[in-house]
Amino acid sequence: MRKILVIGSGKSSSYLIKYFLDKSDSENLHITIGDISTENAKKLIGQHKNANAIRLDVFDKESRSEAIKNSDIVVSMLPARFHIEVAKDCIKFGKNMVTASYVSKEMQALDASAKNKGLIFMNEIGVDPGIDHMSAMQVIDRIRDKGGEIILFESFTGGLVAPESDNNLWNYKFTWNPRNVVVAGQGGAAKFLQEGTYKYIPYNRLFRRTEFLEVEGYGRFEGYANRDSLKYQHAYGLDDAKTLYRGTMRRVGFSRAWQMFVILGMTDDSYTIDDSENMSYRDFVNAFLPYSPTDSVELKFRHQLKIDQDDIVWEKLEELDIFSATKMVGLKKATPAQVLQKILMDSWTLDADDKDMIVMYHKFGYKLDGKKYQIDATMVSIGEDQTYTAMAKTVGLPVAIATLDILNEKITTPGVQIPITKEVYEPILKELEEYGIEFHEKEVPYLGYNPLSN
Amino acid sequence: MRKILVIGSGKSSSYLIKYFLDKSDSENLHITIGDISTENAKKLIGQHKNANAIRLDVFDKESRSEAIKNSDIVVSMLPARFHIEVAKDCIKFGKNMVTASYVSKEMQALDASAKNKGLIFMNEIGVDPGIDHMSAMQVIDRIRDKGGEIILFESFTGGLVAPESDNNLWNYKFTWNPRNVVVAGQGGAAKFLQEGTYKYIPYNRLFRRTEFLEVEGYGRFEGYANRDSLKYQHAYGLDDAKTLYRGTMRRVGFSRAWQMFVILGMTDDSYTIDDSENMSYRDFVNAFLPYSPTDSVELKFRHQLKIDQDDIVWEKLEELDIFSATKMVGLKKATPAQVLQKILMDSWTLDADDKDMIVMYHKFGYKLDGKKYQIDATMVSIGEDQTYTAMAKTVGLPVAIATLDILNEKITTPGVQIPITKEVYEPILKELEEYGIEFHEKEVPYLGYNPLSN
């Protein structure tokens, strides 16, 4: 039996573990799931004969080393900051490793040691980052192979609620970590490249500089810019591209409404509010509005943000019951972002039978024989239920397939890496299609960056 | 002779040094001015027999200690971060010390040692902080002495251009460190108290939540909130006050125009712009606007900020020549804030015969015998020229007077302190009147915090 150690069995591990279990007989696999609490792991493996769950505290050196030493390959599904101790043990005991997380500086620093020992440390092989890398590089390499030159690359991903469960005015529910949604876009200006010019958007304008995207069969979406659209410029070989833009997808109208919270300061996570515990939702809103002995919180809100009587954003606010004088915040020493998250969770938590959805949209502009072309590629994945979510599927399956491909020596190049080489993305994207994760490509007229949509 | 050591002879030391020189015979003073460059010091002391300038590098332990050991009292006019080594030497050699800077944690930590040695470490005794503390506490103590209870305290200070030199559309010129003006208000939400409710304003709204202030003989001003209006709540004994607000004064209309830079992200000091060196002013502006193959930077600017054709803010922009395609930034790896500062300095630098102005406005609301009252107090100081500025006068004179009062044992209470006790503010405010620095008080109807002005 080939022994796979999976560390961490949170929300995103359902499909990953199912994949391994389903292949365990044919591929001769034994799967050990290690977690600080084994409850979810036990639920996911049931009575399967080829798997077991063990209690594993990643900070307990002895048990961690022991588990890693006993495995043939290690998958870390822990939060990114916990990978490094696992990675060091993998170097020590000569084990390959797979994670869905961004390559940290500490991880990158292990590159020479990994290569030295012939070890593969595969990272960023979830959905975003992960499927975005692989699907983008597949098209980019194909265009290059026929002599084309990439001049534009835009890429958007969204974790959203599935159309059949989309029943609120925001067309949004939390399908992943709510906190990340509330603080999204903070920490510095978004930077990207449009037709050869660097562009910068400060946080206070981020949600007003969106562009629209149409996905066949799924309608319209909008995208707002990620912090750093140039992060993979060099890795993708796009040093000469004129337009580079990476963004996050929401349903149309989300961002314009979200902007109200940004402008009033309700997404701030840098300070705590006095006496937040005893505030009503209404008190919370009022803390960001001028004092008045007579005017209502509602009118002050409308006035500050110049919201017309018949603007739909107002109904979006009312749907959240954000002006309630009876619903209490009940959080001690909370930041504005924490209070807002709590208010949103009342409305945006998935119901038991709700499904989630992952959407991805790439645009590739290129020059070939003096002419300009564009390919748009889209992918949509819908969850089955609240265990087998689209998020868990699109994060877990690439991790699982990569793990097996490494065990089976389909992937052999050592070092700390991300999935941007043909050796990695070809077999994985091919197998993902069997699970319905596939991109639909469309040739469209090349318009360059289109300012009318901005 | 009593020996005063002044460390630092920058812009704010002219009146300070003149005060000492003028009193040197009658008060039996010898003044030594230490600075890393003695040029300005020599200019300020001329051939005066009771003063000398020495080269003093505050990081050179030996010469610093020597100079401090040889003095009877030390005045540090250095930037705040350089005080601490001087302060430690003052403890060591048993010297009193005076600075105009905020009390740092490191400075506060010396309180016990200072008290132990009977030393006075007077801080925050410039204009703001300084004259604001003294003038506010004088009125607060007076109200309390007659049995009143303070329920409202608002305090505003502005460093502006004098009316006779006020000849641009912004009614503003740099009279102090331009950088502080460009980054003002950044780093977290402004917090204050209005009628018993904590209020928070994020940076993106700070310059749109101003209030108007009228100073007799000088017309209208506006004030925007400082970061932390509650900083001195306890020190001033205002724990039960319902309204506490500290702000910065500008001429009316400045903030609404400044908001354009805030919204577009031009005041950001947290990242550098690619190729800033070779940008024109126009390129700089365009970096914060969407790409267009055809539309002008001007129209994109108007559209993004919804600026009407006949809005005066547009003329304010044009006055700065910010859309110039020929004026070059010429700064390597500059942050947006650094570029904006350079553009503004073209227009807002004082001419040789320009004068500056310091304006201060306090509001004191109080209850006495069941009735509510309000006193408004204002102070205006106008500079003489570009050496003897209002800023140098209002910063330097309180420092100088405090220094002499300590030498003459009018001020005797030891410890690290700020000028909020009668022992300190009474003699200093009285003497400041001789120099035209005086407050005009007016009884006005108590309206509480007035929302109509916000």
Strand-pair category, A197-201 with A415-417: unpaired
Token pair in block for residue A343? 């208010």
Query: Chain B closest CA to A61's CA: distance in Å?
Result: 39
Q: Which among A200, A304, A454 is the nearest to B287, CB-wise?
A: A200
Which chain A residues are closer than 8 Å to B197 by Cβ? 286-287, 291
For residue B313, give the 3-state DSSP assignment. helix
How many CB atoms are located within 10 Å of the residue B188 CB?
Answer: 15
* B291 closest CB neighbour out of A188, A293, A449: A449
- Give the rounded distance of the alpha carbon of A10 from its chain centre: 15
Portions of chain A given CATH number 3.30.360.10: 131-257+352-444
Integer CA distances (angstroms), A329 to A264, A320, A323, A349, B211, in order: 18, 13, 12, 17, 31
Contact of B274 with chain A, judged by CB distance below 8 Å, is answered with yes
Given a cut of 90, whether residue B447 has pLDDT beyond it is: no
Least confident window among A194-198, B317-321, B359-363 = A194-198
Residues in chain A closer than 8 A to B199 (CB atoms): 287-291
A293 vs B114 pLDDT, higher one = B114
A127 and A102 Cβ atoms separated by less than 8 Å: no
Q: How big is the CA angle at B429 (ends B424 and B434), to the nearest 5 degrees?
A: 140
What pLDDT was estimated at residue B454? Answer: 43
CB–CB contact A291 B200 (8 Å) = no
Closest by Cα among B45, B112, B121 to B86: B121
Contact (CB, 8 A) for B283 and B352: no
Kindly report, residue by residue over B7-64, the tens digit of the pLDDT: 999 988 999 999 999 999 999 999 999 999 999 999 999 999 999 999 999 999 999 9
Tens digit of each residue's pLDDT, chain A (454 residues): 999 999 999 988 999 999 999 999 999 999 999 999 999 999 999 999 999 999 999 999 999 999 999 999 999 999 999 999 999 999 999 999 999 999 999 999 999 999 999 999 999 999 999 999 999 999 999 999 999 999 999 999 999 999 999 999 999 999 989 999 999 999 899 999 999 999 999 999 999 999 999 999 999 999 999 999 999 999 999 999 999 999 999 999 999 999 999 999 999 999 999 999 999 999 999 999 999 989 999 999 999 999 999 999 999 999 999 999 999 999 999 999 999 999 999 999 999 999 999 999 999 999 999 999 999 999 999 999 999 999 999 999 999 999 999 999 999 999 999 999 999 999 999 999 999 999 999 999 998 776 454 4
- Chain A residues touching B446 at Cβ < 8 A: none
Backbone angles phi, psi at A37, to 5 degrees: -125, 130
Cα of first residue to Cα of last residue in chain A, in angstroms, is: 55
Min Cα–Cα distance to chain B from A203, Å: 8
Give me B378's structure tokens: 């204002």
B304 touches chain A (CB under 8 A): yes
The token pair at A182 is 């509330």
Q: Taking residues B199-228, what's their average pLDDT?
A: 96
Residue B3, CA distances (Å) to B67, B128, B212, B238, B451 in order? 10, 27, 46, 39, 53
Per-residue tokens: A65: 């080393």
Q: Which helix (DSSP H) or strand (DSSP E) does residue A34 occupy?
A: strand A29-35
Residue B452 clears pLDDT 60, i.e. is over it: no
CA distances B413 to B53, B114, B392, B416, Å, are 31, 11, 27, 10
**Lookup: tokens for A295:** 């005017």
Chain B residues whose CB is inside 8 A of the A273 CB are: 198, 200
The three-class DSSP label of residue A3 is strand
- In percent, the amount of chain B with pLDDT more than 90 equals 96
For the cut 90, the answer to whether the pLDDT of residue B451 exceeds it is no
- Asked if residue B453 has pLDDT above 50, the reply is no
Question: Whole-number mean pLDDT of chain A?
Answer: 96
User: CB contact, 8 Å: A451 with chain B?
Assistant: yes
Is A336 part of the contact surface with chain B (CB cutoff 8 Å)? yes
Residues 6+ apart with CB under 8 A from B380: B215, B217, B218, B357, B358, B359, B360
**Regarding the domain delimited by A131-257+352-444, which CATH topology (the fold level of the hierarchy) does it fall under?**
Dihydrodipicolinate Reductase; domain 2 (3.30.360)
* Strand residue runs (E) in B307-439: 356-368, 371-382, 415-417
Interstrand relation of B190-194 and B197-201 (parallel, antiparallel or unpaired): antiparallel
Per-residue model confidence as pLDDT tens digits over B135-155: 999 999 999 999 999 999 999
Strands A211-215 and A219-225 turn out to be antiparallel
Q: Please enumerate in sequence order all residues whose Cβ is within 8 A of that of B51, keeping only pairs 6 or more positions apart, or say none.
A: B17, B20, B21, B24, B30, B31, B32, B33, B45
Cβ-Cβ contacts under 8 Å, A448 against chain B: 293
Give tens-digit pLDDT for A140-199. Answer: 999 999 999 999 999 999 999 999 999 999 999 999 899 999 999 998 999 999 999 999
Residues of B in contact with A262 (CB under 8 A): 204
Q: What is the ipTM of this complex?
A: 0.87
Whether B209 contacts chain A with CB within 8 A:
yes
List chain B residues with CB under 8 Å of A200: 265, 268, 271, 273, 287-288, 336
| Interchain CB contact of B290 with A (< 8 Å) | yes
Say how far apart CA B303 and CA A314 lie, in whole Å.
24
Distance from A363 to chain B by nearest Cα, in Å? 17
d(CA A226, CA B117): 57
CA dihedral in degrees (A380, A385, A391, A394; nearest 10)? -60
Among B188, B189, B263, the residue with its CB nearest the CB of A205 is B263
Distance from CA of A310 to the nearest CA of B (A): 20
Alpha carbon distance B14, A385 (integer Å): 75
Q: Rounded distance, CA A329 to CA A327, Å?
A: 7
Per DSSP, A70 falls in state: T
- Residue A93: left (phi > 0), alpha (psi -120 to 50), or beta? alpha
Nearest to A291 among B189, B197, B291 (CB): B197
Find the mean pLDDT for residues B366-381: 97
Q: Do A291 and B264 touch (CB under 8 A)?
A: no
Structure tokens at B192: 């204050």
- Give the contacts of B381 (CB within 8 A, at least 6 positions apart): B357, B358, B390, B393, B394, B436, B437
Residue from the list A198, A264, A274 with its beta carbon closest to the beta carbon of B287:
A198
- Span(s) in chain A for CATH 3.40.50.720: 2-122
Pick one of 1.10.260.40, 3.40.50.720, 3.20.19.10, 3.40.30.160 as the CATH number of B2-122: 3.40.50.720
| Span B236-248, pLDDT tens digits | 999 999 999 999 9
pLDDT recorded at residue B450: 62
Distances (CA, A) of B322 to A49, B156, B263, B347, B413: 72, 30, 16, 10, 53
Average pLDDT, rounded, for chain B: 96
Picking from B200, B228, B282 by the largest number of A CB atoms within 10 A of its own CB, the best residue to mutate is B200
